[in-house]
Amino acid sequence: MAERHGPLANIRVLDLGRIMAAPWATQMLADLGAEVIKIERPGAGDDTRAWGPPFLRDSDGHPTKESGYFLSVNRGKRSVTLDITKPEGQAILREMAGTVDVVIENFKAGGLAKYGLDAASLRAINPRLIYCSVTGFGQDGPRADQAAYDFAIQAMGGLMSVTGERDDLPGGGPQKVGVPIIDLMTGMYAGVAILAALNRRHETGRGDTIDLAMLDVASAFLANQAMNYLVSGRIPQRGGNRHPNIQPQDVFGAADGRFVLAVGNDGQFAKLCAVLGQPEWSQRPEFSTNAGRVKANSELTALLSQAFAPWSRADLLARLEQAGVPAAPINTIDQVFADPQLVHRAMLREVPHPLSGTVPQVVSPMNFAEAPLDFDKAPPLLGADTAEILSSFGISEKSRHELAEKGII
């Protein structure tokens, strides 16, 4: 194995995660330099390997079995196939857990206890172990036994009630976010919690057990919308792209396309009015403060829509940028990665891959001056590292052959 770098190069992680939430956390840890060993089912692997099309194409242009979904969340890891439902697989996993720093899993609550692979069992073997469980609803409570997916939690957690156009307008109704945001945020919270537990272990010498629930996460990042309700008693409603607390912030149309306007304070509003040749708007009592603009939003939106209509989008955005008024085009995904700023920041990179030669990866946005990150290991082929890793635990080639014949690896 190549030498690891980054601020977590001394950390070893056993990843029993599947789908998105837990694997997002472990990809972040791998980006930071940790050795992440991904445990997968023999013959099938992580469910997301089959979540396509699209699938990566090999060097001859033929589709492989590597889905774009799987490739988005498993960079930098090593894959070991192991059937943990069998006693032999459980014994191997327990031995591995005795040497690692972190175990993360997203089985249903209590699902690993019947195999002796739950937090209590593994932390009895390794008291320094940090064990992170990711579930839909947590380890206790009336919903603890229920399964969950991102879409369902976006609905249950209130996010869809404030996302989408108003019901009385064309296209109105609840909308999910265009990426699995609950999974991603759960993975981020898991990563932060693991790092906090690692830091505390420096003081206590002991690991910890982390119980992370997707519904808890969904409620936690309702943020200003939750507090809007809690301090006012008024239930937030869908408002399309209109910001509930700051105006003008919305999608507007120029002569040749739409754009986002994101005015954040009274000074920026005055600059906007000057660009539009209407400086007096910023002096009108109903528009002079943000609170007034929020209350008079319908009138303000109508005036701005009329004023923007004759402009070309490029000219308008250029003038707003010069004036210091936040605004932006609404980019498609291809336009995002063609943006000169992201090109300069090298956010999209090609990583060597055994089937296709290289595979594109959107890399971590974290940059460290003293411990730069490596992005040199593609998401692994199923079981690619089984022999090497099991050999490092003293399992002979003969024993590995016998395990393979039994379907354990």
Per-residue pLDDT of the chain (409 residues; tens, 9 = 90+): 667 789 999 999 999 999 999 999 999 999 999 999 999 999 999 999 999 999 999 999 999 999 999 999 999 999 999 999 999 999 999 999 999 999 999 999 999 999 999 999 999 999 999 999 999 999 999 999 999 999 999 999 999 999 999 999 999 999 999 999 999 999 999 999 999 999 999 999 999 999 999 999 999 999 999 999 999 999 999 999 999 999 999 999 999 999 999 999 999 999 999 999 999 999 999 999 999 999 999 999 999 999 999 999 999 999 999 999 999 999 999 999 999 999 999 999 999 999 999 999 999 999 999 999 999 999 999 999 999 999 999 999 999 999 999 999 9
Contact 211, 139 (CB under 8 A): yes
Q: Which residues contact 108 (CB under 8 A, 6 or more apart)?
A: 135, 145, 147
The pair of three-digit structure tokens given for residue 30, joined into one six-digit string: 């791998």
Q: Whole-angstrom Cα distance, residue 376 to residue 355?
A: 15
Q: Which residues contact 89 (CB under 8 A, 6 or more apart)?
A: 82, 83, 408, 409
Q: Whole-angstrom Cα distance, residue 15 to residue 38?
A: 5
Q: What is the pLDDT of residue 23?
A: 98
DSSP secondary structure code for residue 238 in this structure:
-
Q: Is 108 left (phi over 0), alpha (psi -120 to 50) or beta?
A: beta
> Which residue shows structure tokens 């336009």?
335
Give the relative orientation of helices 21-31 and 181-204 as an angle to the nearest 10 degrees.
50
The CATH number fitting domain 12-220+344-405, selected from 2.40.128.50, 3.40.50.10540, 3.40.50.1220, 1.10.3720.10 = 3.40.50.10540
φ, ψ of residue 271 in degrees (nearest 5): -65, -40
Q: Whole-angstrom Cα distance, residue 264 to residue 272?
A: 11
183 as an active site residue: the answer is yes
For the domain spanning 249-335, the CATH number is 3.30.1540.10
Give the relative orientation of helices 313-323 and 266-275 as an angle to the nearest 10 degrees.
130
The pair of three-digit structure tokens given for residue 233, joined into one six-digit string: 């008693």
The pair of three-digit structure tokens given for residue 366, joined into one six-digit string: 């974290």
Q: What is the pLDDT of residue 2?
A: 66
Q: What is the pLDDT of residue 5?
A: 83
The pair of three-digit structure tokens given for residue 368, joined into one six-digit string: 């460290």
- Secondary structure (3-state) at 247: coil
Q: Which of 83, 118, 150, 183 is catalytic?
A: 183
DSSP codes of every residue in 162-192: GSSB-TTSTTBS----SS-HHHHHHHHHHHH
**pTM greater than the 0.85 cutoff:** yes
Residues of the chain with CATH 3.30.1540.10: 249-335
Give the torsion sign (CA, 14, 17, 22, 25).
Answer: positive
Q: Which residues contact 251 (CB under 8 A, 6 or more apart)?
A: 240, 241, 258, 259, 260, 261, 330
Q: What is the pLDDT of residue 1?
A: 62
The pair of three-digit structure tokens given for residue 330, joined into one six-digit string: 């609404």
Where are the strands (E) in 201-315, listed by range? 208-213, 249-254, 257-262
> Which residue shows structure tokens 């969904």?
218
Give the torsion sign (CA, 246, 247, 253, 254).
Answer: negative
Nearest residue to 287 via CA among 308, 263, 307, 310: 263
Residues of the chain with CATH 3.40.50.10540: 12-220+344-405
